[in-house]
Chains A and B, each alone.
Chain A
Amino acid sequence: MSTDVVTPEPAAGGAHGAGHGVGHHGPKWLAHHFETPTQQFDAAKLGMWAFLAQELLFFSGLFVAYGVYRNWYPEMFKAAAHQLNKEMGATNTVVLLFSSLTIALAVRSAQVGNRKLTGRLILTTIACACMFLVIKFFEYKHKFEGGLLPGRFFHPHAEHLVHGAPALPENTGTFFGIYFMMTGVHGVHVLIGIGVLVWIWIRNNRGDFSKEYFTPVDIVALYWHLVDLVWIYLFPLLYLI
């Protein structure tokens, strides 16, 4: 009961062929250089996973920088993390995890051909993404007001700092350099994510997708999960030191 398997009609020919494209040319969404829908689907997924691998390797540079500097200046990292707002970070974590759930459910409803629900779930995901950015905006605003900026721009104003937190060493600008780069690059990914989510929302409304063809929804969802994946590490490493 809890699971079921969708086995769409064969693309070419067959008793139900009339509704799904004609003859061995296949349905209209099947690109001419692919033999079968399966081949096209697998190629798309393989390409996306190769792209995601690149994304992870790209982010790993920032994580290694984090590792090096944290090992060099553990006390500075600890003091600096006190200036981040744990509650806002945790809220954003829940928002992103929820958006991962909604886009996973969007893929599922696309798989079973429920177009209306797919649209609603994509919209919910977009709403969560926007909410994430709004919360992030207020966090950044607070950092700017407090002079908690990268490198040589680091000039903390005592009145804007968290009360009772440990004093910030001279080199705390290094932490905020890493903080702004990591969350900033992640934020750009959220923005791009909103763009591609809007794109599949429009295509879904246009009726491009069906039980037999939902590849773009699947691919965009994979990208969105990656954005969530990166944040899963960013949140505890930056906020919970």
Chain B
Amino acid sequence: MSTSTDAHHAHGHADDGGVHVHVSSVPFYIAVFLGLLVLTGMTVGQSYVDLGKLNIVIVVLIATMKASLVVTFFMHLRWDNKFNALIFISTIFFIGIFFAYTLHDTDRRGELDPDQNVKVWQKNGERAPGGMEE
């Protein structure tokens, strides 16, 4: 659909100083929108099937596919200055760090054992790391 665009874009910014932008066609935008609708249908359909722990993985995967379509084509990152894409990708990277470090902590605190007043692992009753004691 957009095969010839790179050739045009390869000119980059001519030195006349005017703004040169890539213009996608109307059918192309509508195709992206239809793709988004299909993915929405998939995620709603999936919600009726319980896949246990896999649920959240699929949900986030489909949402990320939708987000990628919006960012790449509706928000023009595909044809934009690469530095803007770098800003976006590094944002996602730092959000990833935020998630990983926080959940790494909060998911490993164990449950409070009221008899001992310490945090223990539910599965084996052993002391969980961290906490306020000592």
Q: What residues of chain A lie closer than 8 Å to B26, measured between beta carbons?
A: 105, 108
In the complex, are the beta carbons of A12 and B17 less than 8 A apart?
A: yes
In the complex, are the beta carbons of B70 and A60 less than 8 A apart?
A: no
Q: 8 tightest CB-CB pairs across the interface, nearest first?
A: A36-B17, A10-B16, A240-B47, A101-B33, A53-B91, A2-B25, A49-B84, A5-B8
In A192-241, the 8 Å CB interface with B consists of: 212-213, 218, 221-222, 225, 228-229, 232-233, 236-237, 239-241
Q: What residues of chain B lie closer than 8 Å to A36, measured between beta carbons?
A: 17-18
| Total residue contacts A-B, CB cutoff 8 A | 173
In the bound complex, CA of A53 to CA of B103 (Å):
22
In the complex, are the beta carbons of A222 and B75 less than 8 A apart?
A: yes
In the complex, are the beta carbons of A93 and B40 less than 8 A apart?
A: yes
Q: What residues of chain A lie closer than 8 Å to B40, measured between beta carbons?
A: 90, 93-94, 97
In the bound complex, CA of A239 to CA of B47 (Å):
9
Contact of A68 among B8, B18, B103 (CB under 8 A): B103
Q: Mark A162-178, 1 if CB is under 8 A from B, else 0.
A: 00000000000000000
How big is chain B's contact interface, by range? 35 or more
In the bound complex, CA of A233 to CA of B46 (Å):
15
In the complex, are the beta carbons of A229 and B70 less than 8 A apart?
A: yes
Q: What residues of chain A lie closer than 8 Å to B126, measured between beta carbons?
A: none
- Closest B residue to A53 by beta carbon equals B91
Contact of A108 among B29, B81, B87 (CB under 8 A): B29
| Nearest CB in chain A: distance from B24 CB, A | 6
In the complex, are the beta carbons of B20 and A6 less than 8 A apart?
A: yes
| Nearest CB in chain A: distance from B97 CB, A | 10
In the complex, are the beta carbons of B29 and A104 less than 8 A apart?
A: yes
In the bound complex, CA of A57 to CA of B98 (Å):
9
- What are 23 A-B pairs with beta-carbon distances under 8 A? A3-B22, A3-B24, A4-B23, A5-B20, A8-B20, A10-B16, A14-B16, A36-B17, A37-B19, A52-B91, A57-B91, A57-B94, A63-B95, A64-B99, A67-B99, A67-B102, A97-B36, A105-B29, A221-B75, A228-B70, A229-B70, A240-B59, A241-B55
Q: A3-B24, A6-B20, A229-B71 are in contact. Are A97 and B44 (CB under 8 A)?
A: no
A139 at interface by CB-CB < 8 Å:
no
A158 at interface by CB-CB < 8 Å:
no
In the complex, are the beta carbons of B27 and A45 less than 8 A apart?
A: no
In the complex, are the beta carbons of B106 and A236 less than 8 A apart?
A: no
Q: A45-B84, A67-B103, A100-B74 are in contact. Are A38 and B17 (CB under 8 A)?
A: yes
In the complex, are the beta carbons of B1 and A11 less than 8 A apart?
A: no
A39 at interface by CB-CB < 8 Å:
yes
B127 at interface by CB-CB < 8 Å:
no
In the bound complex, CA of A98 to CA of B80 (Å):
23
Q: A38-B20, A212-B19, A236-B63 are in contact. List 7 more A-B contacts (CB 8 A).
A: A2-B1, A3-B4, A9-B18, A49-B88, A57-B94, A64-B99, A239-B47
A42 at interface by CB-CB < 8 Å:
yes
In the bound complex, CA of A42 to CA of B83 (Å):
10
| Nearest CB in chain B: distance from A49 CB, A | 4
Q: A49-B87, A50-B87, A97-B37 are in contact. Are A112 and B23 (CB under 8 A)?
A: yes
In A25-71, the 8 Å CB interface with B consists of: 35-39, 41-42, 45-46, 49-50, 52-53, 56-57, 60-61, 63-64, 67-68, 71
